Amino acid sequence: MSTRTLLRPALRAARHAPASRTFLSRAKPPHRATDNLNVRRLADSRSDYERDRRAFLTAGVLAGVIGIVYTSMKLKEALSKKTKLDSKIPAETFTVDGGTKRKVVVHDEYGNEIVPTGNSTVPTFPRTIDLSKSSDGLPATAVDDLGTQYTLVGLGVRTVSFLSIQVYVVGFYVATSDITKLQSYLVKKVNGLATTLVSGEKEELRKTLLDPERGEETWDSLLREAGCRSAFRIVPVRDTDFHHMRDAFVRAITARSKGNEKYEDDGFGEAIQQLKRALNRGKVPKTDELLLCRDGRGFMRILYDEKKEGRKELGTVPDERVSRLLWLNYLAGKKVASEGTRHNIVDGLMEFVERPIGTVAAQVV
């Protein structure tokens, strides 16, 4: 048998055997899921997803902001809407009579003179208050019977936050017998020879009192030099507490004294602590009365009337700087506790200076 015959079966098997892979040959890649993978399509899909996600989140933020703004506006509208008062009590504090603003004064069922506040919770303030003595028999702040009566100059409502939430009604009173001193000081400031102010002079005084710098200078010197006894009557329109009032008073005093060496001594710091201790108490229900009384020397007494026990003294602050800065917080400066209250007080002062010095007190009495 020839060699070719012997090799023929081997050649035939080799012909049908699969081709072996060499380092020079290209192996056919196995079939996998990644064979049909399109990277560009995946990138486009991811981009579309991120775009839709951003649009959805942006729409959610805008909807939330719009909802908050709308709710705030409706809440502010509801809070600022005046509740309908008894027809016998007008809603306005001042009225115009012959071109001149006059304080609205009406009488209650007992014949007492009252002034409307425009607030439904505390609808009126008394035109005059008697501070002759408190229920616990403390001595009077004034030296005579006439001086124990205080006359309302102006009032307003203290509000907080951008929603203008009403916190309390505050009224500024001056001892009736000291109105003459107040008249004289303001009239002489505009016209040293006059006993009353005419229209143009009244407007000049009004601009001075409402000017941030000149108004503060005027009230600061008046409180130090004129010797007028005065008081702020504060009546909450919603339940609050002494700590909130205390902190607000202290912040106002600190803001006005900061950076001024006149208020950097230990005595002033102790006076602030006296104010804090006097107001370190609990709740203040709505319609209760808090009185801040300042005598002619600046000595301040803090009185509280909770109706159940009557009016009582909470504490005193002898340092006149504390009461003066606290008074300025309502009366003058770039920022006051209630701008409406300041304007109302100025309107009340215009009623005083348009009359001859000494006649207002006589008319009140």
The CATH number of the domain where 159 resides is what?
3.50.70.10
For residue 295, how far is the Cα from the chain centroid? 27
Sign, CA dihedral 219-158-254-280, equals: positive
Identify whether residues 110 and 231 lie together within a single domain: yes
DSSP 8-state assignment for residue 160: E
Q: Considering its fold, how many domains does the chain have in total?
A: 2
Phi, psi torsion values for 319, nearest 5 degrees: -65, 115
Bridge partners, residue 94, by sequence: 103
User: Token pair of 192, please?
Assistant: 């040293």
Identify whether residues 49 and 194 lie together within a single domain: no
Residue 217 located in a structural domain: yes
**Alpha carbon of 213 to those of 140, 147, 207: distances in Å?**
35, 31, 11
Residue 10 located in a structural domain: no
DSSP string, 240-261: EEHHHHHHHHHHHHHHHHTT-G
Candidates 167, 168, 164; CA nearest to 75 is 164
Q: How far apart (Å, rounded) are the C-alpha atoms in residues 330 and 351? A: 19
Identify whether residues 55 and 105 lie together within a single domain: no
DSSP 8-state assignment for residue 29: P
Identify whether residues 263 and 146 lie together within a single domain: yes
Tens of pLDDT, residue by residue, the chain (365 residues): 555 555 565 556 555 555 555 544 555 555 555 555 677 888 888 888 888 888 889 988 888 889 888 887 777 666 655 444 444 555 566 666 555 667 788 888 888 889 999 888 999 999 999 886 544 444 444 344 434 899 999 999 998 877 778 899 999 999 999 999 999 999 998 888 888 888 888 899 999 999 999 999 999 999 999 989 999 999 999 999 999 999 999 999 999 998 888 888 999 999 999 999 999 988 999 999 999 999 999 999 999 987 767 788 999 999 999 999 999 999 998 999 999 999 999 999 999 988 888 777 666 65
User: Token pair of 164, please?
Assistant: 């203008």
Candidates 44, 71, 47, 79; CA nearest to 238 is 79
Identify whether residues 62 and 144 lie together within a single domain: no
114 in Cβ contact with 106 (< 8 Å): yes
DSSP 8-state assignment for residue 45: H
Residue 5 located in a structural domain: no
Q: How far apart (Å, rounded) are the C-alpha atoms in residues 127 and 131? A: 13
Cα-Cα-Cα-Cα torsion 195, 146, 308, 280, nearest 10 degrees, comes to 60
Identify whether residues 96 and 45 lie together within a single domain: no
296 in Cβ contact with 323 (< 8 Å): no
Identify whether residues 234 and 147 lie together within a single domain: yes
Identify whether residues 97 and 66 lie together within a single domain: no
pTM of the complete model beyond 0.85: no
Identify whether residues 65 and 133 lie together within a single domain: no
218 in Cβ contact with 211 (< 8 Å): no
Identify whether residues 68 and 141 lie together within a single domain: no
What's the confidence (pLDDT) of residue 3? 54
Identify whether residues 48 and 183 lie together within a single domain: no
Residue 139 located in a structural domain: yes
Max CA separation in the chain (angstroms): 159
Supply the range of the domain harboring residue 57: 40-79
Residue 4 located in a structural domain: no
135: Cα within 13 Å, side-chain hemisphere? 11
Phi, psi torsion values for 269, nearest 5 degrees: -60, -40
Identify whether residues 327 and 354 lie together within a single domain: yes
Residue 74 located in a structural domain: yes
